[in-house]
Chain A
Amino acid sequence: MKVTRRDLLVWSAGAAAGLVVTPVPWKILDDVSIWSQNWPWIPQPAKGPVEVKQSACTLCPNGCGLRVRMAGGCPVGLSGVNTNPVSRGALCPLGFGAHQLNWHPRRLRNVKHRGNISSWSEASAAFAKAAREGPIVIVDGHPGRSASSVLENFAEKWGGGYRVAMGPETRSLAPYELWSGVPATSLGYDLENTQTIVSFGAPLLDGWGIPGRFPRLWAERAASMNDPQLRIVQADPSLSRTAARAWQWLQVREGSESALAAGLVRALLEQNLVPAHGAIPLATISEAANETGLSADRIRELARTIVAKPPVLAVSPDFNPAVAALNVVLGAVGARGGIVRSSDRTKKYSSVAGAISNVRAVVIDSSVPWDFAAKSDAEVFRFAAWDGGSSKGDWLLPAPGFLEESTDISTPPAYPVETYAVAANLAKPTFEVQTAARFLANLDASAGTPETILHSRCEQLFRSRSGTLYGQTITPMTEIASTQELEKHLWDGAVWVGERCSAKLACELKEWPSASPSSRAGNWTQPWLAPVLPPLASKLYIESNLRGTPGRTV
């Protein structure tokens, strides 16, 4: 039988008609749609039990309390801990996306030497050689931790220097260290008890200090109040976030903060608003007015305004002796609601601002902010979890990433009382990482290990019996039965908060301070190429107009 073209056509028509009453077209239509709902190249979150654990954020020295949702052995969500009296349940925008940082494309996964992949053993050998030749300088970004003690001990033993890269909050307290002898790290702003704050451009609501501290304070005592209990007078060249929310915004010229402080002191003294004081600024009110762009009357009025609701405190964003002197004149130093002593420790730290020349090697701990980079002839051993792109020609050593190391957290910068907390590690690094402390301890075990120091600190804390433990409940230290119990609470996310320091703080200001050089001068000016941000935080810059872009970073 011959098959004709006609037969084929008829057959196809029959097949097509028949196919309609089979599952073929309909099931394929349905399944293809389902396929499009579950595209295999779209990642799916892990399934499994979700556990909630507590830890603390180690992105910066503030150590905000973290509530970590864990699934499949990984942190999958972060939120603040409301019972934490320091961070008060808040996190910064960076913190909310920090659990993704460990997979950042710029995560440092290998030891790098002069841009080439190297190994830990080579790094150790190179460092051992350098340390023996000496001298070495160790730079810490977050003093007061157990790990810091290891760094400090090592530096002491090996005849090197231990330097601290202070944050701007601590740097703003440095003038008082000069005038009172109390280290800046033992000082704090008693914001909780102040009623008027004169901010000389300090971004109080925009990343200054602990994210949960001032914003919460402001929200409770100032926000949307016609007559706020906390008055913020913000002197800022432009309408910054803080200025936009301040009780009063003074539009001053860029860089005229010191002049404004001097003018205010003149105005205060002139109008007898404060007791007479020895150190009087050279500049007159009208000179200050010229420099700031405000009228002399406005400065006088401002002086009256700020003393109207004491206590009053002046805050500068960074090292600024004139603003500090204003505080001295206002009597805010050592007073409630002013500059207070957070601890009676008198140990001073040398700032990295000091010269680090004629040094064989520099070790930079991973706690040092990303924008610090050494411009030195020394061999630099930079510990970092993320490759910021600097330190070319030096060693880049992969440090534990976010929540990958257990560490303790001491008093945040400029916080008025001592605190102590522990950040438990919840994530496991998938490649070899080392902290600077561990790296140094490998060379010289006598410097101690962070674990033993942490343990002994807890013991010390338990023995002191002072302060309160803020965990699931608020427990006075007197009710803690043992070091073990204390440690357990701390590892479960509790924060120890000490009592107010009773030690005296007095400043003597003999003469008006001269204009100060920038504290970042010297060998520490070369910034990293771009900050490494949690990808979701970079969304803020890339996908909204909320903030100016710091470069397209993921």
Chain B
Amino acid sequence: MSARYGMVIDLDRCIGCGSCMVACAAENNVPALQQATVRTGLTPIVVRTVSNGQEGAARRETFIPIMCMHCEHDTPCVKVCPQQAVEVDRATGIVMQMPQRCLGCRYCMTACPYHARYFNWWDPAWPAGMEKSLNPGIAVRMRGVVEKCNLCHARLHTAKEKAAAAAKREIDPTDYVPACVEACPTSAIHFGNLADANDPVAKESRSPEAFRLLARLGTEPKVYYKSKEAWVRDLAETNSAPRPEVKHG
């Protein structure tokens, strides 16, 4: 059962509601910390707003969810981790981050071109009692380690165990859907097995409207984006016009 789980995100469908971010944080026991900021927060999936750079009526905006791209080739973070806390799982193609192995050197974060890796700057904390609402399938990460999207591996565990209970080796694909995919109100995020040529997601990934961010780096990300609009597809390439400096709050 060698799968290559991947995603196709239809940017024309994304309405930037942020449901995926909240669902992801709830699924993965990510704390909401008072001290965190845009630059220090922990958002395994984050929806960013991108414009075509114009002002007034010609302005167009799109929302682009950024998460771990699960790069397949020369995976930047896997290659640099000094103690094998990151690996590309052979059975699923998921780039797995092991917080218990991580020493928090953050080299992988500098290696990731997508800024999809986050450091636990603080001890995870919840208001008193709220720890009862934590998802039982996910161990809370301690401070000082790097984490990122693991494609909701707790759901994969549950699916595997369910299959095993029925003495089956293969999981039922409907049992394994990441939280962001499930949460999307417009079904903009499509999840599937890219290794299976008949999988709708695999087909979609080959569509001419599909593109990957920074594809020219050659890391073969498994998260594809899709848009009908040319200016959005241009995001695949960085070699576009210089952009004005953006001030951060």
A: which residues have CB within 8 A of B?
A: 36-37, 39, 41-48, 50, 69, 71-72, 74-80, 90-94, 96-97, 99-100, 102-105, 205-207, 211-212, 215-216, 218-219, 223-224, 226, 239, 241-242, 244-245, 249, 251, 430, 534-540, 542-547, 552, 554
Contact, CB under 8 Å: A251 / B133: no
Contact, CB under 8 Å: B182 / A79: yes
Tell me the nearest residue of chain A to B118, going by C-beta. Answer: A543
Q: A45-B134, A215-B185, A546-B48 are in contact. Are A224 and B21 (CB under 8 A)?
A: no
Shortest CB–CB separation between residue B20 and chain A, in angstroms?
9
Beyond known contacts A215-B17, A539-B30: 15 more, CB 8 A cutoff: A36-B142, A76-B136, A78-B26, A93-B21, A96-B22, A99-B133, A103-B126, A211-B17, A241-B17, A245-B15, A535-B126, A542-B36, A546-B49, A546-B63, A554-B34
Contact, CB under 8 Å: B38 / A544: yes
Instruction: Tell me which of A79, A104, A242 contacts B23 (CB under 8 A).
Output: A79
Q: Mark B17-40, 1 if CB is under 8 A from A, else 0.
A: 111011101110111101011101
Shortest CB–CB separation between residue B149 and chain A, in angstroms?
15
Please measure, in the bound complex, the distance between the C-alpha atom of A244 and the C-alpha atom of B182, giving whole angstroms: 23
A244: chain B residues at CB < 8 Å are: 16, 60-63
Contact, CB under 8 Å: A554 / B185: no
Tell me the nearest residue of chain B to A39, going by C-beta. Answer: B142
A-B Cβ contacts below 8 A, count: 220
Could you list some 5 contacts between A and B, CB below 8 A?
A: A43-B134, A45-B135, A71-B136, A241-B16, A544-B18
A536: chain B residues at CB < 8 Å are: 22, 25-26, 30, 32
B130: chain A residues at CB < 8 Å are: 100, 103-104, 535
Q: A36-B142, A249-B57 are in contact. Are A554 and B127 (CB under 8 A)?
A: yes
B43: chain A residues at CB < 8 Å are: 539, 543-544
Q: A78-B26, A99-B26, A103-B132 are in contact. Are A251 and B21 (CB under 8 A)?
A: no
Query: Which residues of B from 27 to 82 have beta carbons under 8 Å from A?
Result: 27, 29-32, 34, 36-38, 40-43, 46-49, 56-57, 59-63
Contact, CB under 8 Å: B186 / A544: no
A538: chain B residues at CB < 8 Å are: 32
Question: How extensive is the interface on chain B, given as a class?
Answer: 35 or more
Tell me the nearest residue of chain B to A105, going by C-beta. Answer: B127
Instruction: Tell me which of B19, B59, B136, B137 contacts A92 (CB under 8 A).
Output: B19
Contact, CB under 8 Å: A97 / B136: no
Tell me the nearest residue of chain B to A218, going by C-beta. Answer: B186
Contact, CB under 8 Å: B22 / A539: yes
Tell me the nearest residue of chain A to B65, going by C-beta. Answer: A546
Please measure, in the bound complex, the distance between the C-alpha atom of A480 and the C-alpha atom of B99, giving whole angstroms: 52
A212: chain B residues at CB < 8 Å are: 185
Instruction: Tell me which of B31, B136, B140, B186 contacts A50 (CB under 8 A).
Output: B136
Instruction: Report, nearest first, the 3 A-B pairs whose CB atoms are least far apart.
Output: A543-B41, A224-B12, A43-B131
Shortest CB–CB separation between residue B175 and chain A, in angstroms?
12
Contact, CB under 8 Å: B26 / A96: yes
Contact, CB under 8 Å: B132 / A97: no
B219 in contact (CB, < 8 A): no
Instruction: Tell me which of B13, B16, B133, B179 contacts A103 (CB under 8 A).
Output: B133
Q: A542-B37, A546-B16 are in contact. Are A224 and B136 (CB under 8 A)?
A: no
Instruction: Tell me which of B22, B29, B30, B182 contacts A93 (CB under 8 A).
Output: B22
Contact, CB under 8 Å: B47 / A544: yes
Please measure, in the bound complex, the distance between the C-alpha atom of A92 and the C-alpha atom of B21, giving whole angstroms: 11
Please measure, in the bound complex, the distance between the C-alpha atom of A216 and the C-alpha atom of B226, giving whole angstroms: 18
Shortest CB–CB separation between residue B229 and chain A, in angstroms?
9
